[in-house]
Chain A
């Protein structure tokens, strides 16, 4: 079946602009996660959704970062007023539900802030 999909695959933006990154989880998966992979910081957790609610937002690095999930499916990660340090690969993962620890990752969105 289809895996986790993310769009766009690559995004180049100018410093100060807002960007939206999209994640489509595996059909039927109710838990959704965002991570960030960067050279300096490795793989970092950002936020976790169970259904449409986010019980854990502890990894969001600043208030410029926000995420939402509607209909228990697609999620959007928004970065406002992008900075160069936001350049990274943003990964989305999903799992069957909150009791399932096995997460399946998408291909990521490579964000470059110039």
Chain B
């Protein structure tokens, strides 16, 4: 069965610090990988996605993620976070069926 693990449940950073959020998935076939973000009071928005090709994908707001097939990982990174990045981040996988399987989410708090 497909599953997604996010190891960091709550991350607190100061502005300008670098960010890396871990995501590991379990699925034997071809996967499509996503990071979604939920800002306070807002709905889920797509941050970036990986379907195929270059394993380093760039998304909105300076975020990027690297797909490492051998490690079943799709970690999210940002070199320098801002206060406005405070949000909850969800990693998700979509395999043969069209449903998204989400990780438990990581709450990021960026202190000014």
Contact A108 B98 (CB under 8 A): no
**What chain A residues lie within 8 Å of B94 (beta carbons)?**
101
Q: Is the Cβ of B90 less than 8 Å from the Cβ of A43?
A: yes
Contact across chains for B32 and A101 when beta carbons are under 8 A apart: yes
B73 within 8 A of A: no
Docked-complex contact A98 and B43, CB < 8 angstroms: no
Known A-B contacts A56-B97, A103-B100, A104-B46; A42 and B105 likewise in contact (beta carbons under 8 Å): yes
Q: How far is the CB of A43 from chain B (nearest CB, A)?
A: 4
Q: How far is the CB of A53 from chain B (nearest CB, A)?
A: 13
CA A43 to CA B105, docked complex, whole Å: 9
Closest to B51 in A: A101
Cβ of B105: which chain A residues have Cβ within 8 Å of it?
42-43
Q: Any chain A CB within 8 A of the CB of B26?
A: no
CB of B44 closer than 8 Å to a CB of A: yes
Contact check, A31 vs B98: say whether CB atoms are below 8 A apart.
Answer: yes
Given contacts A102-B46, A106-B43, A107-B43, contact A45 B104 (CB under 8 A): no
Subset of 14 A-B contacts with CB under 8 Å: A33-B98, A35-B100, A42-B102, A42-B105, A43-B92, A43-B105, A44-B102, A48-B99, A56-B97, A56-B99, A93-B44, A103-B46, A103-B100, A106-B43
Give residues in B with beta carbon < 8 Å to A: 32, 34, 36, 42-46, 49, 51, 90, 92, 94, 97-105
